Chains A and B, each alone.
Chain A
Amino acid sequence: MASHRGMVRVIPRTSVRFFKTLTEPYSPTISTDLYTQEKEPRFISLFQNDSRLKTITEEEAKLSPSLIALHARLNLGQDFPLATLARALTCDTKDGQHASNSSLSQVGKRLVKYHVTENMITKYPRLPIAVFSKAVNAYVGTESLSSVGRLFGIEVESKSPIDKYLSGETLETSFGKLRFDSAISKPESGVKHYGKEGITEDVAYKFAVRSIIGGVYLHKGESAAKKFIDEYILSRKVDVESMLKFEQPQRMLLRLLRRNNLPAPVSKLMAETGRHSVAPVYVVGVFSGDSLLGEGQGSSIREATMRGAVNALKAHYLYRPLNERVPSDPERKEPLYVDEGEVYF
């Protein structure tokens, strides 16, 4: 639409709710009896920080239809104020009038990092460290979280303040949109300028998603935050097998077996066809003692041997225990298995 004049906004009645204020007490799941005002007054005073920036009020936030729709889409419930959601979409800007999401996103970042880490360690206890860190990053990295934010249906505020004024929009309507100082500007068509200040759209989405998680923890408590992370982040798919990379698989397998006091690997040709043809196929099994660790096939014996060693290593590193309960699960009975780390030399 070229003009916004004559536009009527319809706000569904059920979406207009009355929320509590931002400083509503949350239920701490951790006991902090040691640090009361009486016992440690000076320590407590270190945690006081009153920034002069005002926070978005509930009344202002209620005026944005897209914010109300986003709130309903994420099923945040009545405990989660619209004002917090509006704050979660407000990144640090140069001329920002309202408190930004930087602190909320700090809280969210730490929560999501822990829950993904414990989940990954429970699921794949033997992953090499490099693969492990990248697998965690596949969930909590910028690309992943920005994709989550886009799936949430968060819109980016693309209009400049003057455009908004000319089209008759108020400031409140933009509370439902992601607001940030973009590092990328387009001075003319076909030219992109990457500035030093500001952030990219992906990073802004990441901050918003983290902040929403932080807000869920703040207003709805720990188990709700964990559920939110389970449903929106950990439900995504990461193919860990394709992340493994081996430069010298046979050598690595030898180290691994030697460390575990098992016989050194022996490759045995198990089947072959068309040795003198243009397309030979070999199947090689890699054995340690009597047990077949892995089997590979290839068009040369060397290739098949290498694949056999890779498959043997994959069988080891991608081991998944039957009991997949994470340590934060109160119903967990058995201790978590953490491996001893990979060998290097």
Chain B
Amino acid sequence: MPPYNGAIKAVSVARNGVGAFIRPCRKITLQYCNVGGSSQGLRDFLTQRLTKFATKYPEIEFQVALKRGHPIVRGLYSTTMASNPAILTNDSTKLADVHTNVKTVCLRNLNIDNVENKLKLMVESSGNRLYKPKQAVQSLNQSVRGIWSPFHVDKDHRFKI
């Protein structure tokens, strides 16, 4: 019988930004109404600033849609960020549904500057759902200090019973 039996399968985990950085935001849809007053700020943005803004981010596809109702901005994200708690658990069933994250923000009654700020927020977001981190530092790597062992403490510092 061989003393050594095979290996355990593993899959590499993404570390966006370690090699190259890919912006998670891949597509932004701006939905506006031609008549409604709540779309005024977005309409101004579309006519005055969108071209310049889109030129700044060539990696994002911009779509403009005309639809009745309040204006909306919708961002699509390709997310496999290490900061995502679903990735940290390395659970492949969870991995599948975090890839296409959508973030939607209503833009009603915002002026042109506020619209631009909201867009910047969309562009710079990771696309992850917001969550409260339990630790101050999150890492894929093990602690370099290792686990504390009572047997390896120097005698002078040992707890005396």
Contacts and interface: CB of A to CB of B under 8 A. Distances in A.
Interface of A: 1, 6-10, 12-15, 65-66, 68-69, 72-75, 128, 130-131, 133-135, 137-139, 141, 143-144, 147-148, 150-155, 230-240, 242-249, 251-252, 255, 270-271, 273, 281, 283, 297, 342, 344-345
A325 to B, nearest CB: 18
B51 interface: yes
Contact of A134 (B9, B31, B65, B80): B9
Given A130-B7, A246-B4, 10 more contacts: A10-B50, A10-B63, A12-B62, A68-B61, A134-B9, A153-B26, A231-B19, A246-B5, A281-B150, A344-B3
A135 B58 contact: no
B29 interface: yes
B118 interface: no
B54 A236 contact: no
Interface stretch (B10-18, B37-45, B107-115, B129-137): B10-18
B23 to A, nearest CB: 7
A235 B19 contact: yes
B34 to A, nearest CB: 9
Contacts of B11: 138, 141, 143-144, 147
Interface residues on B, range: 35 or more
B55 interface: yes
B131 to A, nearest CB: 20
A13 B27 contact: no
Nearest to B16: A151
Contacts of B12: 138-139, 144, 147, 233, 236-238
B7 A128 contact: yes
B95 interface: yes
B63 A9 contact: yes
A65 B57 CA distance: 13
Interface in B106-161: 140-141, 149-151
Interface of B: 1-16, 18-20, 22-24, 26-27, 29, 31, 50-51, 54-55, 57-67, 78, 80, 92, 95, 99, 140-141, 149-151
Q: Is the interface of B mostly helix, strand, loop or mixed?
A: loop
A65 B23 CA distance: 17
23 contacts: A14-B55, A66-B61, A69-B26, A73-B26, A73-B59, A128-B4, A128-B7, A130-B7, A133-B7, A143-B92, A150-B80, A151-B22, A152-B78, A234-B19, A235-B19, A236-B13, A237-B12, A237-B141, A245-B4, A245-B8, A247-B5, A252-B4, A281-B151
A69 B58 contact: yes
A230 B19 contact: yes
